[in-house]
Amino acid sequence: MVAPHSPPAPATAGSGGRLAAVQEMARLQRLLFETEREFLRTATTLVYRVGEPELKYLLCQHLWESSGHARFLRERGREMSGFGSGESVRESLAQLFTEAVMPADGDVALAGFYRVLKPALLESYRHYLQATHHLADWPSRRLVEEFILDEERHAVEMEPFLAGIEAGAWIAHLQTALASHGGLLGERTHTPLPTDFGWQSAQRPYKHPTTCNRGKYPVCSSVFSQDPDETPIVRDWLADPKTDARVIRLMVYVWLMMELDAVDYLATVFYDTPHAPFDLHHDLARHLWDESRHSAFGYRQLPHLGVDLMTLEHSLELYNVLVQMAPHERYAMMTMEFEAGSFPTKALVMDRVRELNDFEADTLLAFDRNDEQNHVRYGHRWLPEIMALFGETRPVDDFVKATEARFAALTKTHGNLTPHSLPPDQRLTGNKLKKIAGVA
């Protein structure tokens, strides 16, 4: 028997009150989503400003995990009345996170994020658990409990990199700004700003540095050339069937390590696209994390094969040129030119390395190729949307061709400007890789 249909009751003044408990938790979830989204947009500016590769890798991992937090919060929030259908971030929260990027010193900025904003986020998640019902809101609680574990781990993982950073004045400045906000969720008493407080982000715009930071490591313009006495990667050797596979393996690990270039210049795109769909930033975060892992493949494997990393110069040219370009141009060059164009050579390299029966090398290269294929798919998916954000109306193919020409022109001005940090007798070169590989 089918129950008779009853029309919905008309809305009354008390209808909203019936879901008040749900709506309050949805409001908090929305604030947590916006916070994680803002962390992703702004903490990416740390990546190219800090110098230690292991720190860059760790930041990329934290950013990817934060993007996952935001995505799960959005999906759960949309199941609840009061979360809202849009993805915009309230202005006061954006102002707080924009302020956090302002120090010229990347280490000081890092301390601000991890001594002030990340602890505040952890406190906010704990507040959520205290405020909600253990059974009624069980799905949300399970998410938040997992995120708390992540945040606690992030704090432990970052602690060694924060030791010794002198950032007391900046930390106090950010803490004052946060107090005026009443905490990230507004769960604390709002403390009025002192009369002499000045928002640095209101006084000047943030600008990406003209070059990226590689800390203690030697640098150069490029690790690629045709001269085996100049650079470690000799272009002709990569495709030459007479090149010993052991040399190919060393060169490809150098190539992988230098995907740190991609880490640094991709990280600049987030801050420049504040109105992008969240899913775009989510996929960019995955792309960023992938590139950091690829770089770590080389960074961690080369020493096992006898390479002193302090003899390997880091290439800076791609960042130096791309930072002169608009965000949609940077992304087009990365996905449609550099990554899409690398497949033929990398296929040859993979076949040669397989001759060595090196399971680990085969595995790392296979995952690199799989990830890069996904990145090109991201490019096809998101490049038109990034172009639209900047008012670019040309067909994608025409835009990419024009961007390639612009990159070539800018390279004449901004490329090849980083001299070798090391003299030829000290820096790693192709001929030295042959000796390390035991090739006569």
Residue 3 within any structural domain of the chain: no
In 191-330, the DSSP E strands lie at: 219-220, 224-225, 233-234, 314-315
- Note whether 140 and 76 are within 8 A (CB): yes
Q: Are residues 82 and 112 in the same domain?
A: yes
Q: How far is CA 45 from CA 59, 88, 126, 209, in A?
A: 10, 20, 27, 10
Residue 210 within any structural domain of the chain: no
Q: Are residues 153 and 42 in the same domain?
A: yes
To the nearest 10 degrees (0 to 180), the angle between helices 138-162 and 118-131 is 160
Return the number of other C-beta atoms located less than 10 Å from residue 387's C-beta.
Answer: 23
Residue-level length of the chain: 440
Among left, alpha and beta (phi > 0; psi -120 to 50; other), residue 149 is alpha
- Note whether 251 and 346 are within 8 A (CB): no
CA atoms of 108 and 115, how far apart (whole Å):
10
Q: Are residues 168 and 245 in the same domain?
A: no
CA atoms of 96 and 201, how far apart (whole Å):
9
CA atoms of 416 and 328, how far apart (whole Å):
23
Among the candidates 203, 235, 259, a domain finishes at 203
Q: Range of 395's domain? A: 219-437
- Note whether 44 and 270 are within 8 A (CB): yes
Q: Phi then psi for 314, rounded to 5 degrees?
A: -90, 130
Q: Are residues 242 and 110 in the same domain?
A: no
Q: How are beta strands 314-315 and 219-220 bridged, if at all?
A: parallel
Q: How many domains does the chain have?
A: 2
Among the candidates 162, 179, 203, a domain finishes at 203
- Note whether 288 and 417 are within 8 A (CB): no
Q: Are residues 50 and 135 in the same domain?
A: yes
Among the candidates 168, 203, 238, a domain finishes at 203
Write the CATH number for 71: 1.20.1260.10
Two tokens, residue 211: 């070059």
Q: Are residues 199 and 334 in the same domain?
A: no
Token pair 């959520």 is at which residue?
128
Residue 9 within any structural domain of the chain: no
DSSP-assigned letter for residue 308: -
CA atoms of 399 and 331, how far apart (whole Å):
12
Q: Are residues 360 and 408 in the same domain?
A: yes
330, HSE (Cβ side, Cα atoms, 13 Å): 24
Q: Are residues 172 and 262 in the same domain?
A: no
Q: How are beta strands 224-225 and 219-220 bridged, if at all?
A: unpaired
The per-residue pLDDT for 158 is 98
Tens of pLDDT along the chain (440 residues) come to 344 444 444 444 455 577 889 999 999 999 999 999 999 999 999 999 999 999 999 999 999 999 999 999 999 999 999 999 899 999 999 999 999 999 999 999 999 999 999 999 999 999 999 999 899 999 999 999 999 999 999 999 999 999 999 999 999 999 999 999 999 999 889 999 999 999 999 999 999 999 999 999 999 999 999 999 999 999 999 999 999 999 999 999 999 999 999 999 999 999 999 999 999 999 999 999 999 999 999 999 999 999 999 999 999 999 999 999 999 999 999 999 999 988 899 999 999 999 999 999 999 999 999 999 999 999 999 999 999 999 999 999 999 999 999 999 999 999 999 999 999 999 999 999 999 999 96
Number of H-type helices and E-type strands within the chain? 19, 4
Residue 135 within any structural domain of the chain: yes
Q: Are residues 256 and 174 in the same domain?
A: no
Residue 209 within any structural domain of the chain: no
CA atoms of 36 and 45, how far apart (whole Å):
15
Q: Are residues 65 and 171 in the same domain?
A: yes
Residue 12 within any structural domain of the chain: no
Q: Are residues 131 and 272 in the same domain?
A: no
CA atoms of 158 and 58, how far apart (whole Å):
8
Q: Are residues 292 and 184 in the same domain?
A: no
Residue 359 within any structural domain of the chain: yes
Residue 59 within any structural domain of the chain: yes
- Beta-carbon contacts of 41 under 8 Å, excluding residues fewer than 6 positions away, are 97, 270, 271, 274, 281
Helix, strand, or coil (residue 414): helix
